[in-house]
Structure 1
Amino acid sequence: MNTQSLIRTALTVIVVLAAALIGHALWKHYMYSPWTRDGRVRAEIVRVAPDVSGLVAEVDVHDNQLVKAGDVLFRIDPRRFELALAQADADLGAAQAAARAAGASISAASAGTAASQADYEKYEAQSERRQKAAAVISAEDRADAVATARAAQAAVAQSRANRNAATASQAQALAAVEQAQAAVDLAQLNLERATVRATAPGYITNLDVRIGDYASAGSARMALVRSDSLWVYGYFEETKLPLIRAGDVADVRLMSGGHALKGTVEGIARGITDADNPTSSGDLLADVSPTFNWIRLAQRVPVRVRIDPASIPKDMVLAAGMTASVTVHPAQRD
């Protein structure tokens, strides 16, 4: 074999070895490096529903509008709630008047008890004096004195009973005042809740309310996508999870292109739905379909990545459900 043949053979071997090494590195990167094209932008969704029922009198927002926390979204006709508040205020006034009357009854009963006690003490003393003067006072007079004293004693007991009854009536009246005050507070709360406000900053979407609609309490009429809660779920194959830890830096690139976003791994899901287990469909775990990869199907596990707000350009549109590629950069570990 001449020199040229040896050179060609050596070059061929080198090229084949380089291709094999590159292919192995690419295969290892594809199979085990912590990256995925299966990422989804997620956000906290507030289902906006009125807390009271009634006719919609005013709608203050439009679809896809950016709102701040506390902004008015829509108003329910407040007249029924204003009348209920007026009625509750009147009932409270009546209950307070009844409580004052019950207090006056206690004062009167206490005065009557004191007078009865004084009469009893007087007649009891008279009876004792007449019993001691039996020689000069007839038996009939002595008996009358004893009866009078006993009657005065009974009057004292009756006065005390009346005072106790007045005290119980006052306690009942005060309880009625508290109940009426609670009714006033509830009516005031219902009136306030007739104005539906945004509970967080975000974008209004799926607006489904018009003036004249009847809005039922608890029935969602629009969704609010919180603008301060965007994150990405990267669905990583289980073979790539050993390299991922909470706190690792991640790059997020949307399928729509544009600037790559920075993020931080917040956590890894600790469970997904088992498709082979018929009892696991209602356990609220993420249902992630595995993708075909070579022969064996690796399960995909959600990894939550928080997006750094400073890395989001002002003109970038981020919508929940957008597709993204996520690459995690594992930190150096001991």
Structure 2
Amino acid sequence: MTASPSTDAKSRRPRTWPALLLIALAVIAVIAVIWRVDTAPRTDDAYAYADTIGVSPEVSGKIVTLAVRDNQAVKQGDLLFQIDPRPYQYALQRALASLAQLDAQIPLTQRTVNAQGFGAAAARAAAVRAQAAAKQAGDTLARMEPLLAKGYVSADELERARTAQRAAQAELDAAQKQASEAQAAVSGVDALVAQREVLRAEIATARLNLEYATVRAPFDGRVVELRTSVGQYVSAQKPVFTLIDTRHWYVIANFRENELGHIRPGTRATVYLMSNTGIRFSGEVDSIGFGVDPQDGGSTANGLPNIQRSINWVHVAQRFPVKIRVDHPDPQLFRIGTSAVAVLQPERDSHAARDGAPS
């Protein structure tokens, strides 16, 4: 039995539906990828980051105690290192001794001032007495002068009255000069009291310097770049090592500029580190960079981050750093510079905004 011609034609006809199905699936996949990129921006151009400070002493001296080692974790208030405190102890003792000496000198000086005041008062009283005597001698002379012509007084008596008046005036002048000198000699303790305040300030500074000789951790962190030992002379304001602030960890993720429209502070994110891709960490966007170096390659310009955006002859979109704060970082995994991957969920922000909106 032979096949009919119509059956042979059907068997030779190409089957186009599998190809159409593959094309449709590819289109759906492309749309899904585009939708996913728009709704959940993702980048592997990211790294872990934490704030750091250079641990610098406030005073200079030799390190006598070094209580930490390189890469050690420390808690706030832990001893880091101590500078030889003896010079600052001696400075404090000298300032305290100077204050004690001044406190003993002030009462003695006050007694001298009191004596000077009493002397000035006595000189003023003597000047008053001399003024009264001079006035009396002048009045006597004024009464006797008209009596000479009438013969009631002799010329000798009048001359004695004039002599007494001149003597009384001379004594008055001398007494007034002594009173002025005595008053000018009266000093005070104001200068010593002011000097006491200066010494009190020196004591406070000496105590502060003595406290600065002991350097403690200002926050929970990890010691890095420790390259010194006991006996090393360190200078004030010169960093001895670096302390990583492990209280807050971030992931700096560089996103393309055309992805920033749906990203804002508070956008939720999921990040993981390339050192352990099996652990996911949640977080949220802390801030979005508002400036990068527009030049390709080279060093940082004007303090702006430099992000390469050209791949050979292909010009790609500029990338801007997005700072993501990690909610519960693992202190054993997070290291500054560790490569990371960040995925944002802008739709969670919109859902939260709708859920929190008043009805």
Would you call these one fold, judging by a TM-score over 0.5?
Answer: yes
2:340 aligned partner: 324
Q: Identity rate of aligned residues, in percent?
A: 30
In the alignment, the residues of structure 1 paired with residue 137 and residue 234 of structure 2 have an alpha-carbon distance, to the nearest angstrom, of: 85
Per the alignment, residue 270 of structure 1 pairs with: 290
| SS of equivalent residue, structure 1 residue 326 | strand
Matching residue within 198, 202, 206 for 1:183: 202
State the partner residue of 1:22: 29
For this pair of structures, how many residues does the alignment match?
Answer: 326
- Superposition RMSD in Å: 2.9
* 5+ long unaligned stretches in structure 1: none
Given the alignment of the two structures, is residue 103 of structure 1 paired with residue 123 of structure 2, yes or no?
no
TM-score by length of 2: 0.81
Unaligned ranges ≥5, structure 2: 1-5, 145-159, 355-359
Q: What's the counterpart of residue 99 of structure 2? A: 92
Q: Deviations over 1:184-228 (max 9, x none)?
A: 222222222111111111112222221222222222222211121
Deviation at 1:255, TM superposition (A): 1.1
CA distance in 1, matches of 2:104, 2:261: 74
The aligned amino acid for 1:147 is A
Task: For residues 278-332 of structure 1, give each alpha carbon's deviation from its aligned partner in whole angstroms, at most 9, with x where no partner exists.
Answer: 9x945212222226499322211111111113xx357x42112111111111121
Distance 2:203 2:216 in 1: 22
AA paired with 2:305?
A
2:75 pairs with 68, 72, 95, which one? 68
Pairwise CA distance, 1:182: 2.3
Once the two structures are superposed, the pairs formed by residues 152-191 of structure 1 within 5 Å of their partners are 152-163=175-186, 166-167=187-188, 170-191=189-210
Query: Corresponding residue for 1:259?
Result: 279
Pair 1:116-2:135 in alignment: no
Structure 1 residue ranges, 4+ long, deviating more than 4 angstroms after superposition? 1-7, 27-33
Query: Is the partner of 1:89 in helix, strand or coil?
Result: helix
Residues 68 and 220 (structure 1 numbering): CA distance in 2 closer, same or farther, change over 3 Å?
Answer: same
SS of aligned partner of 2:239? coil
Q: Secondary structure at the match of 1:260?
A: strand
TM-score by length of 1: 0.86
Q: How many angstroms does 1:15 deviate by?
A: 2.3
Specify whether residues 329 and 27 from structure 1 end up closer, same or farther in structure 2 by C-alpha distance, changes over 3 A only: closer
Task: Provide the rounded CA distance (Å) in 2 between the counterparts of 1:329 and 1:320.
Answer: 24
Contact 2:223 2:243 in 1 (8 A): yes
Post-superposition shift, 1:30?
4.6
Q: State the SS of the aligned residue for 2:279.
A: coil
Structure 1 6/233 Cα, relative in aligned 2: closer, same or farther at 3 Å?
farther
Correspondence 1:49 to 2:94: no
Whether the 8 Å CA contact 2:64–2:231 is kept in 1: the answer is yes
